[in-house]
Structure 1
């Protein structure tokens, strides 16, 4: 298996959501999506955000090297092993490359005790995105140390599928097909057409 990836983030995953508006058809305008995408901190003062998390940081410490993966998955090619995030450590995704899946698969690593996240919720999360083709980390709010807040309708389908229906406080992982991610690629993030992606996510809040 390849090594755990800690490469410098090359671009913000959510910063690219403006270009996805036409693909997902979920946003009213590119401008609205872009405004949301540039947010890099959770807000507890938004109207109706009673369920928003008070957490204002994402843990940056690496997990224990001896930590047992909470999810292992053999893909159509390659495989992954995910150590989920905790209150004090970031997640780790180990990839046997090239990893790919024909169907998006979601795994709940730890179930939270908060409310269920609706399909149209605005959520606050910490997340890490890894490219299955080469095992590189293309974005990580854990590296930045700050959560991101955004409406689920403004992100790629695979990310939405990972979060909607989960409970606040949960940690989840998802292996995303190219069709549910960036079917046309995202060159700024080093994502090519056909790339499967892996996300490890901590759901901090929702409203």
Structure 2
């Protein structure tokens, strides 16, 4: 017996839409529309994203003074979610990408289909607006189907890397994304773990 269900999960200040499809063979997949602008799928048996909070004294791997404000980012580990601390309002006038930890896998092509764990934070208010770490489930999508700043952060990195990106509104959502609490002009910060890439 096959069934479909649609649920809306509120992640911090945004909504991540999940549609799960199951079958009688015990396998399942998740389709999600992310704040990164992608619709992708994830197999339930795939690698998971950690869900435990990072240690209170974890040191940032990347600090960036913006045009206004500042951000400090520590990538996820095998057991803990990333930590993103924002001095608000934070903004940049050019998208900045930082490799937090370099992986040992192949380079990710610009047109790859990737599987990632990620957390998105709004620079205007410091709120997490989207996070696959909340559910523990990575998301799979083609890089050609995401917002430009997300593609800039991942393409050219090695599989296994953790990456931080602070993106301009133009590379994110220039006109805003109300469902995620993103207003026109908001700078977005993502902490990303690249699990795999194909293509």
TM-score by length of 1: 0.79
Q: What is the match of residue 93 of structure 2?
A: 102
Shift of 1:16: 5.5
Q: What is the match of residue 164 of structure 1?
A: 155
How far apart in 2 are the matches of 1:135 and 1:160?
A: 22
Tell whether 2:131 aligns with 1:140.
yes
Instruction: List structure 1 runs of 4+ shifted beyond 6 angstroms.
Output: none
Give the match's secondary structure for 1:179: helix
Tell whether 2:30 aligns with 1:12.
no
For residues 189-200 of structure 1, what are the structure 2 equivalents within 5 Å? 189-200=180-191
Shift of 1:17: 6.9
The Cα offsets for residues 146-188 of structure 1, whole Å up to 9 and x where unpaired, read as 0000000000000000000000000000000000000010000
Bigger mean CA offset, 56-65 vs 150-159 = 56-65
Shift of 1:9: 5.0
How far apart in 2 are the matches of 1:16 and 1:55?
A: 18
Gaps of 5+ in 2: 1-10, 18-31
For residues 22-171 of structure 1, what are the structure 2 equivalents within 5 Å? 37-39=39-41, 41-42=42-43, 55-171=46-162
Gaps of 5+ in 1: 1-6, 21-32, 44-53
How far apart in 1 are the matches of 2:35 and 2:85?
A: 26
How far apart in 2 are the matches of 1:190 and 1:108?
A: 27
Structure with greater helix share of residues: 1
The Cα offsets for residues 119-150 of structure 1, whole Å up to 9 and x where unpaired, read as 00000000000000000100000011100000
How far apart in 1 are the matches of 2:138 and 2:151?
A: 16
Tell whether 2:192 aligns with 1:206.
no
Shift of 1:83: 1.4
How far apart in 2 are the matches of 1:75 and 1:9?
A: 23
Structure with greater strand share of residues: 2
Q: How many residues align?
A: 174
Check conservation: 1:153, 1:160, Cα contact below 8 A. yes
After superposition, the CA RMSD in angstroms is: 2.0
The Cα offsets for residues 56-80 of structure 1, whole Å up to 9 and x where unpaired, read as 2100011110011000000000000
